[in-house]
Structure 1
């Protein structure tokens, strides 16, 4: 078993069933299979690579830290407490056995696909996890995690990651990024991403304290103008440390221009925690406009991913906190909601705006048409609940006829699960090969054009869209 092991049986995984089209897809896939990974939106912390410590154990690495896995186990009757062991290796092994007992329930799911590919490609384990082999597979992985070749930095290079963007709080000093940048033994690019959500949402319970810290850290006065200046200063700090994008996660998208005076009055009330829900909604919408204005000035790519109701179950949130698998998609709209932003900066030279959604209906109805007109708008890759084989193919069909292949962000892994990054990017390359192969077989795209397109989707477009 080894980190670069592959299985001949999986060579045609996700490629078309029809033999002729599969042969075309295989040839296309092979042209990009070994290209470096460009990951411009991820949640792997820079500290993981700076510290380069051995991963603790298989359970923490592959179960407890991956909410894709824990949510499905929870849905099938497993208690979260049993998946987040705190009393040592024996508890971790018990959690692993629970995964093995429920492994059959992951068949056909994206999380099952990631884990299966990780077992196979990273650890060289080609057999299905089951109750009878759970301990043996656990011990095989545990042994490997003790090897130098399985430290985070070694895997970074084994995975052929060229660029990895993290997701960071605006007040982060970015010391981990600076240390990696200045370390001559580390040759990859690890870039911070400006994620200001908690500083823009007056309904966040920590908003007054957060903006107070923002003013204190930047020395800007506690006024609305000072607030904008403080955010701009932190963006400049991120840019100086290599950032290329600013990321915005919101439940519902509505951009409004309140004007400076109204926005200032709402900000003063927000700092005291006295805004109504409607005023808070309006303030968030205005601040997205302000963030777009800043991106038009400072060049940070603006990514927006609305449409998820965070922490859907109150009891689970109170007991286990955020990012524990109970964030649920909601219907999303873009056309009218984003128009004030596009009216102002949509035609500005150098402005890049990447729109994501977990509402599949909006891709063909709104996002692709927007990207098919505005030079600034790019279609974000299938995200979160949609970064899966069938959803990925539906996505390609939904957007390509309207916007083509060159209004697309390239694949986004959007993951905290470091070891799944190669499997996710490999899936995307296989799906693009399968989609293009059908167009070639139908006489809609010439073979040479398809080869160029799959290379551009894999490498050229993410570098262009994210200004890499």
Structure 2
């Protein structure tokens, strides 16, 4: 059997032999550094309870909208690869068969690269995925999942993860995080992240009930808009006390707006009474981004913003299958004007860190790099979501480095729900950074000695510095 391309030591490195040699040395410098993952979606309870992983399809296919969206685009109904709101997931082996038949569709995609790497390095799968190997690959992965050592805590150690941040509802009691932090047998950090989208976006179907619950639990007896702000501040403080280092915001646009308390209170009251207009929605979310920045200046939480996604683009699919089912579609954003109200007051505030992400590549060189190249608070979020593929990561480096250098970036963000994909994603990022720096060395734009210092800082120093680790 021929060696899997996922095992090739030169994968993702430059094709030119001389540049590749430089990249190999750079990669070797960082290949064994611990993984710092300051933003992701793994459930802390899985780590706390050391929960066994489910079957191959439930682990690798059904919950991954990267995977199911492309299978659906080929004409396969989603109910054949994931469950609907009204029905349980289909038979796991049947889902795996659909995935294996669709495997050729993933050539050249980021998902295909990560999955192939997982199959080889995590699961030890030595056969190519395909329709004819569906049953044998399913059985091989299932057997691996049953091994006593193949549990989250052991893999946390095997993957060399030092820090793993989760994403958490503001009202979460963070019991799992507390239990992990107090467990002397666990070596590593699992940190909560404050994610208040469902409490800031007044169009969220549960916004009013969320806000009522929030104020009642944490408003210190306050009511209305004042009680709402107090409650958010208190819950942020609770997260800080339980190890949180950042607050994450998935907003429609990067707009920010500074309103006086009276105007903001009127907006808030209209929203609670169900009388808010679309403009009210935009204004309130923009104002709350300003308020979140103010709170970050006060409590020290790093503020991350990732806008520009049209959520649940296909309403019939959302109604049948719910959110995060593959049809969140990017749209163009404007950062320069949108973020200015926030930066006027907080852009030079001491110890304020603001990490800006985008799904719109056109703003990398035009807007984000110049912003990060001036404001001490602004850092460039790593290529995210549809942009976290090898070529897109190289485009990111090419677009921003000439203006902002290397020191203004966040380090790699894997943003994954798939625990077993974490090492594959970080390995891909390290290979891309080595490739980009190797080209600069080969073109005599950076010395090789300096490139070795830079890649260590990009991989290890930047995430520690930006996320205050």
Query: Is the partner of 2:379 in helix, strand or coil?
Result: strand
User: 1:78 is matched with which residue?
Assistant: 76
Aligned mates of 1:220, 1:305 — CA distance in 2: 33
Aligned to 1:372: 373
In the other structure, the counterpart of 1:211 is 211
Matched with 2:43 is 45
Q: Secondary structure at the match of 2:132?
A: coil
Q: What secondary structure does 1:97 align onto?
A: helix
Deviation at 1:88, TM superposition (A): 9.3
Whether 1:116 and 2:116 are equivalent positions in the alignment is: yes
Aligned positions of 1:161-200 closer than 5 A = 161-200=161-200
Distance of 2:153 and 2:297 partners within structure 1: 35
- 1:83-113 CA distance string (max 9 Å, x none): 1269999811111111111111100001111
Alpha-carbon RMSD: 1.5
Q: Is the 8 A contact 2:82 2:89 kept in 1?
A: no
Give the stretch that moved more between structures: 407-416 or 277-286.
277-286
Q: Does 1:322 align with 2:320?
A: no
Higher deviation after alignment, 110-119 or 221-230? 221-230
Residue in 1 that maps onto 2:353: 352
Deviations 1:194-217 (CA, angstroms, capped at 9, x unpaired): 000111111212111110000111
In the alignment, is residue 141 of structure 1 matched against residue 141 of structure 2? yes
Please give the alpha-carbon distance, in whole angstroms, between the structure 1 residues aligned to 2:369 and 2:167: 26
Inter-partner Cα distance in structure 1 for 2:333 and 2:121: 36
Name the CA distance, whole Å, in 2 between partners of 1:8 and 1:435: 20
Query: Would you say the 8 A contact 2:82–2:90 is kept in 1?
Result: no
Superposed CA deviations along residues 209-264 of structure 1, whole A, max 9, x for unmatched, are 11000011114422211111100000000000000000000111211112111001
Shift of 1:127: 3.0
* Deviation for aligned residue 1:456: 0.5
Conserved? CA contact 1:355–1:367, under 8 Å: yes
Aligned pair in 2 of structure 1 residues 301, 88: CA closer, same or farther (>3 Å)?
Answer: closer
Normalising by structure 1, we get a TM-score of 0.97
**Does structure 1 residue 129 correspond to structure 2 residue 129?**
yes
- Provide the rounded CA distance (Å) in 1 between the counterparts of 2:276 and 2:157: 49
Contact kept? 2:247, 2:304, Cα under 8 Å = yes
CA distance, structure 1, for counterparts of residue 119 and residue 344 of structure 2: 48
| Alignment match, 1:397 | 398
Q: For 1:383 and 1:39, how far apart are their aligned partners in 2?
A: 13
Residue range with higher mean Cα deviation, 324-333 or 47-56: 47-56
Unaligned runs of 5+ in 2: none
The whole-number CA distance in structure 1 between the counterparts of 2:382 and 2:117 is: 21
Structure 1 partner of 2:14: 16
Task: Indicate the residue corresponding to 1:56 in structure 2.
Answer: 54
Name the structure 2 match of 1:313: 314
- Provide the residue aligned with 1:282 in structure 2: 283
Q: Which residue of 2 aligns with 1:244?
A: 245
Kindly indicate whether the alpha-carbon contact (under 8 Å) linking 2:356 and 2:381 is maintained by their aligned counterparts in 1: yes
Structure 2 residue matching 1:290: 3-state secondary structure: helix
Moved over 4 A (4+): 5-9, 85-90
Q: Is the 8 Å Cα contact of residues 6 and 116 (structure 2) preserved in structure 1?
A: no
Q: CA deviation at 1:134?
A: 1.2
User: Could you tell which deviates more after superposition, 397-406 or 263-272?
Assistant: 263-272
Contact 1:411 1:425 in 2 (8 A): yes
**Taking structure 1 as reference, are residues 9 and 246 closer, same or farther at Cα in structure 2, changes over 3 Å only?**
closer
Find the counterpart in structure 2 of residue 30 from structure 1. 28
Gaps of 5+ in 1: none
**CA offsets 1:143-164 (integer angstroms, 9 cap, x no match):** 0101121111111111111000
Q: Does 1:421 align with 2:419?
A: no
The 5-angstrom pairing of residues 246-261 of structure 1 reads 246-261=247-262
Please state how far the C-alpha of 1:270 moved relative to its aligned partner: 1.3
Counterpart for residue 337 of structure 1: 338
Q: Deviations over 1:366-414 (max 9, x none)?
A: 0000000000000000000000001000000000000000000000000
Which whole-Å CA distance do the structure 1 matches of 2:96 and 2:8 have between them?
25
Question: Which residue of structure 1 lines up, in the alignment, with residue 269 of structure 2?
Answer: 268
User: Could you tell me how far 1:274 is from its partner in structure 2?
Assistant: 1.2
Tell me how far apart the structure 2 counterparts of residues 56 and 308 of structure 1 sit (CA, whole Å).
30
Which residue does 2:156 correspond to in 1? 156
Would you say the 8 A contact 1:7–1:120 is kept in 2?
Answer: no
